[in-house]
Chain A
Amino acid sequence: MSPPVIQIRDLTKVYRMGEVEVPALKGINLSVDRGEFVAIMGPSGSGKSTLMNIVGCLDRPTSGIYLLDGIDVSRLDRDRRAEIRNAKIGFVFQSFNLLARTRTTENVELPLLYSDLGLSRVERDRRARRAIAQVGLAGREDHYPSQLSGGQQQRVAIARALVTEPAILLADEPTGNLDTRTSEEIIGIFQALNDAGKTVVLITHEADIAAHAKRVVHVRDGRIGDDERIVQVRANPAIVATEDEELVPAAASSSSVPAWSPERT
């Protein structure tokens, strides 16, 4: 068994507001293995956003240790954290956060522009198109966000998160701006990606969304509450989940039914 992709020990975060110290996280211990699909749940004010910012290397903990993919990222400076975010984390936000007036491919390519991989234009384009196909948007490469529905925009965002082949997908309320049906579709994509071996961390406050994960971690008052593993009975014969697989579901190329089609969830 390879080491956990996320290892968090005694993590605290204290915000200083003038004279007052506001503890947001009061000692979090969390370990996420490769290939897991974890939902982090909690009401607003529980500290789950703070946790997500630290897990996403957008912020640093006040104390404690955070190992991401074996690297201690809890003390890194701004630029190093930017590199880690670029290489290891794929963000999916509630409000999609695509660049307006920018084509699908260009939006998806964006992280590669800042990567240290130094990919050629052709290679970037190839990767972007592959990620777009993975989320079922093939044929919409040249669309602008304004020409896409909310669900489609979120798929572009997921493709953008996938394009660097990160260690974890970190989704912050990814269905918060979507209707129920579209939400199911988006969750379906995460499930399919997870089945293909991707580690997915989902932050949500909706129980029915969290129910699609394999494991639900409850954050309450800056601490981890329940940590339940859900055994889901999902029939996915077409999908072989191994870590080293490409992100494409193994049989997807031969299967005409996309893995995230609503009928299957």
Chain B
Amino acid sequence: MRVSLLRLWNITKVGLMAISRNKMRSALTMLGIIIGVACVIAMVAVGSGASSSIQSTISSLGTNFIMIFPGAATQSGARIFTGESKLTPEDVEAIKTEAPAVAYASAGVRAAGQVVAGELNWGTSIYGVDVDWPFIRAWNTSQGAFFTEGDVKTSAKVCVLGSTVADNLFPAGDGVGQAIRIKHVPFRVVGVLEKKGGNMMGQDQDDQIIAPYTTVMKQLQGTAKLNLIYVSAAGSDQVPEAEKEIEALLRQRHRLQPGQDSDFTMRSQEEIASTAAQTTQTLSILLGSVAAISLLVGGIGIMNIMLVSVTERTREIGIRLAIGAKGRHVLIQFLLEAVALSVAGGAIGIGIGVTASHLISKFAGWPTNVSTGSIALAFGFAAAIGVFFGFYPARQASRLDPIDALRYE
């Protein structure tokens, strides 16, 4: 192609001039691309932010983590639980002693209530667990110590505070050794947990109180059944083995016939993570389809406006052709104009997308992660749309007959 760089620049300038002449029109034309690119940026930011938070949550759950819930799993993986839990502390004991692939197991009971310390009070969740729990969740105390096996056996009224609870009830940081009242029952604080942050659902994991499950069952709940069982497999490669063993063991203990649905559900950390990933994937798909449609419509908008521009400037094209412009010179001029429109739209869209990602993480609490890769991708996409949708109008322009074009009014 005998189009030198110099000439290319001159032709580009002509195109840029045409865009700046019709600022309003150019802005409206770019709108589709702007929205599309902003969606791409936000989509990738939310998606990659979610996946990185899932990664960190997986490790924050503890290694080789398995949870057992009461109730049967349906095919879609959703848990429907209406009846009474069949999980008992004896089940936990059996898992610990009879499943070789299991390293730790802990009962779990849940309660919620108002907690009072002096003049301060705080509404939170109270989890009753066993002494294995810190090992399963890989979660240590930052002050004091976890309660002991003796505390569990004697249903001692002791508790460990999550850091959020500790901050709210004891702003001075002197919670250990103090007395609090959980639903009017007095407890003694023996420790404060390390700060762990939000989980993948955005819940604050530090907004909870941990107490011996025996105490929670007797003092706060009054049932003999468990809300969940925490298990840790002996190794990451033993998670499926542990699940198999627990399944067989609990089915036997609950006297379930072959073919009968289990009255419990197991979730390993990977399954939990993949459920969370599905949620963010759904959002990504949604944003992605908005982006795709918007980019398509934006591209058609560019094509439309370029066709209008070619018609409007038929005479100009005629002049250029008459004084010696070749078809390809005109083609490049209009193509570059379309690309300049889409790339400018892309740049604005990137700005909006990055801002939107920040707003999403700020107000919705979603973790987002804007990568240079996604910016490059969006930019390249915008340019490609300019070329794709600009080609047809540009070719129309380049094929004009100079005589007709000059005569055009």
Contact = CB atoms under 8 A, between A and B. Distances in A.
B10 A113 contact: yes
Contacts of A164: 324
Interface string A157-171: 000100010000000
B247 to A, nearest CB: 77
Interface stretch (B69-77, B314-322, B386-394): B314-322
Give the contact-size bracket for chain A: 20 to 34
A204 interface: no
A56 B403 CA distance: 10
Interface string B321-353: 111111111000000000000000000000000
Contact of A58 (B11, B325, B328, B402): B402
A99 B316 contact: yes
Main secondary structure of the interface of B (DSSP, over half): helix
Contacts of B21: 101
Contacts of B80: none
A93 B406 contact: yes
A215 interface: no
> Which of A53, A85, A164 is most buried by chain B, counting CB atoms within 10 A of its CB?
A85
Interface string A73-117: 000001100110111000101000111011000000011011110
Interface string B193-222: 000000000000000000000000000000
A22 to B, nearest CB: 15
A127 B403 CA distance: 27
B7 A58 contact: no
A101 B6 CA distance: 22
A101 B328 CA distance: 24
B17 interface: yes
A139 interface: no
A161 B4 CA distance: 23
Nearest to A109: B10
A251 B269 CA distance: 96
B326 A79 contact: yes
B211 to A, nearest CB: 79
B326 A82 contact: yes
Given A97-B315, A101-B17, A118-B4, A111 B323 contact: yes
A69 interface: no
Given A59-B403, A99-B319, A116 B2 contact: yes
A83 B406 contact: no
Contacts of A78: 326-327
Contacts of A83: 324, 326
A110 to B, nearest CB: 6
A141 to B, nearest CB: 18
Given A101-B21, A114-B329, A85 B403 contact: no
Nearest to A86: B324
Contacts of A98: 319
Give the contact-size bracket for chain B: 20 to 34
B400 to A, nearest CB: 11
B403 A114 contact: no
Contact of B324 (A102, A115, A121): A115
B324 A97 contact: no
B403 A58 contact: yes
A16 to B, nearest CB: 15
Contact of A79 (B319, B323, B327): B327
A93 B408 CA distance: 13
Nearest to B402: A58
A85 B323 contact: yes
Given A97-B406, A114-B329, A86 B4 contact: no
A111 B319 CA distance: 10
Nearest to A121: B6
Interface string A50-66: 00010010110000000
B266 to A, nearest CB: 73
Contact of A111 (B7, B11, B324, B327): B324
Interface in B1-34: 2, 4, 6-7, 10-11, 17, 21
B322 A91 contact: yes
Interface in B160-205: none
Given A59-B403, A79-B326, A79-B327, A113 B7 contact: yes
B325 A82 contact: yes
Interface in B281-298: none
Nearest to A111: B323
A86 B321 CA distance: 9
Contacts of B323: 85-86, 91, 110-111, 114, 160
A85 B318 CA distance: 13
A78 B7 CA distance: 20
A171 B318 CA distance: 16
A149 to B, nearest CB: 20
A164 B323 CA distance: 10
B403 A53 contact: yes
Contacts of B6: 118, 121
B324 A87 contact: yes
List 8 A-B pairs, minimum CB-CB distance, nearest first.
A86-B324, A111-B323, A114-B324, A82-B326, A114-B325, A97-B319, A85-B324, A79-B326
14 contacts: A53-B403, A58-B403, A82-B325, A86-B323, A93-B406, A97-B315, A99-B319, A110-B319, A110-B320, A111-B323, A114-B323, A114-B325, A116-B2, A160-B323
Given A82-B326, A97-B315, 10 more contacts: A59-B403, A82-B321, A83-B324, A85-B322, A86-B325, A113-B10, A114-B7, A114-B324, A116-B2, A160-B323
Interface of B: 2, 4, 6-7, 10-11, 17, 21, 315-316, 318-329, 402-403, 406
